[in-house]
Amino acid sequence: MQYSDIDLGFNQSMVSKGSLDVVKKLQRAGYDGYLVGGCVRDLILGTAPKDFDVTTNATPEEVKAIFHRGRIIGRRFKIVHVRYGREIVEISTYRAAPGKPKKNWFGLRKKTSDSQRVLDDNVYGTLDEDVVRRDFTVNALYYNPVEESVLDFVEGISDAGSGILRMIGSVPVRFGEDPVHMLRVVRFKAKLSLTLVDEVEHEIRPNVVLLGEVPPARLFDEVLKLFHHAHGVRSWEELKKYSILDLLFPLTMKSFDIETEVDYEKLVLDALGNTDRRINQGKPVIPAFLFAALLWAPFKREYEAIISSGSPLGEAMWSAGDRVFEIQNRTVSVPRRVSGPAIEIWSMQNRLVQRRPRTIDRLLENRRFRAAYDFLLLRAQCGEVDTEVAQWWTDIQECDSDGRRAMIDGLRDGFSKSSRRAKSKNGVASDPGANSTRRKRPRNRRSKKSVGKQ
């Protein structure tokens, strides 16, 4: 069914100039050109879209010929990115069902796995075929901003107005074709406060195991979409409800089952809440901070186990961190540019707690200080660190140079030899980060890339 954008109350000023230009150029070249997916859904709901996707009957190669600045990306699902300043417009070709396997130099190239997960989605089709390849009815709306009309083949407009999330086609089949659909269900439910139809609600838990077939690197991107888009707390609650967290973060969830004086799940939820607030305030966030919170509890257990065996403290810090991320990478692969800074955040914790006068200036100038300080505040909130220590670090950042000197001198006056090193009953530091400056982290060229501040 075709609707007028005026009847739907569209605010055309919300449509980006880049996406409008892409649609016009595709149509001038004789091809179809529609805005599709989340941007149309957001326009219907009256919210400003953050990203604009365009779909067409032109192949990626034909699109590239029109947009010389375009870049073809992807293997399983080829698309074209066209940059307009800071904006990137994504252009995809109409998709059809995967079809039969094709032969290549190495034999038969399968388009689906034995469990029917789609391995090759570069099967181009018509607009009618593309509709049924979309995931949800609210994401299968096609907007032509030139003609100011919206095409709706699956009652997506009605579902959007009713706040319903409905999948297109058989739910078990769609989950089998791409298990990431389950994560998208959770994300849209959390982001848009949508209600799941019964069939979707009942089919998630029985199919969670299929997420184990998804490449861990792809799941890293999906985790960031869940937790770095201002609805992280709600996403966590929904993932927990459907037992998806046990598959994504097995070490973390097992550590929550161990009885301790500290509520580590509260630390994670506080971290997600802090991230949600920063995003809503337009402040930057970094994945390293997120994963430092998610894996703090299993890291502490691993670190304590290593130092109890007599390993040098600084070496134990990085060994424990590497071990935890090695296991985590089996389910959600965390790149070294993220895991390295996360371990640095952990390694600074005990130095922040100890507050050795001679290290204060260096800590304040450390590029990870702000993230490590924010993490210290989380630990104080869940009772793992004395709130007086956290407040001291807050105060010293607000002082002028004279005030800072006075605070550091105050530490020197009360800093006794017995307080300079946290010791366990065996005479070795038991808190992560203690004396970790004795031995430097093993050199790793891949981790040199800097990540922004939390």
**Active-site amino acid positions:** 51, 53, 135
Please give, one letter per residue, the 3-state secondary structure of 252-270: HHHHHCCCCCCCHHHHHHH
The answer to whether 140 and 94 are in contact (CB under 8 A) is: no
| Concatenated DSSP letters of 319-364 | HHHHHHHHHHTTTS---HHHHHHHHHHHHTHHHHHH--GGGHHHHH
Q: What is the DSSP letter of 418?
A: G
For residue 196, what are its two tokens? Answer: 């799941």
Per-residue b/e over 52-84, b at no fewer than 16 CB within 10 Å? bbbbbbbbbebbbebbeebeeeeeeebbbebee
Whether the Cβ atoms of residue 71 and residue 80 lie closer than 8 Å to each other: yes
55, 130 Cβ separation under 8 angstroms: yes
CA–CA distance, 203 with 182 (Å, rounded to integer):
9
CA gap 187, 183 in Å, rounded = 6
- Residue 447's closest CA among 288, 333, 248? 288
Q: Are 214 and 113 in contact (CB under 8 A)?
A: no
Measured between alpha carbons, how far is 165 from 377 in angstroms, rounded to an integer? 38
Q: How far apart are CA 427 and CA 440, in angstroms?
A: 22
By residue count, the chain amounts to 454
Listed in order, strand segments (DSSP E) in 46-162 are 53-56, 71-73, 79-84, 87-93, 102-104, 107-109, 141-144, 149-152
Q: Is 437 helix (H, G, I), strand (E, B) or coil?
A: coil
Q: DSSP secondary structure string, 215-253?
A: -HHHHHHHHHHHHSSS-HHHHHHHHHHTT-HHHH-HHHH
Which residue in the block uniquely carries the two structure tokens 């707690």? 353
Helix (H, G, I), strand (E, B) or coil at 61: helix
Phi, psi for 91 (deg, rounded to 5): -120, 125
Query: How many whole angstroms separate alpha carbon 4 and alpha carbon 285?
Result: 39
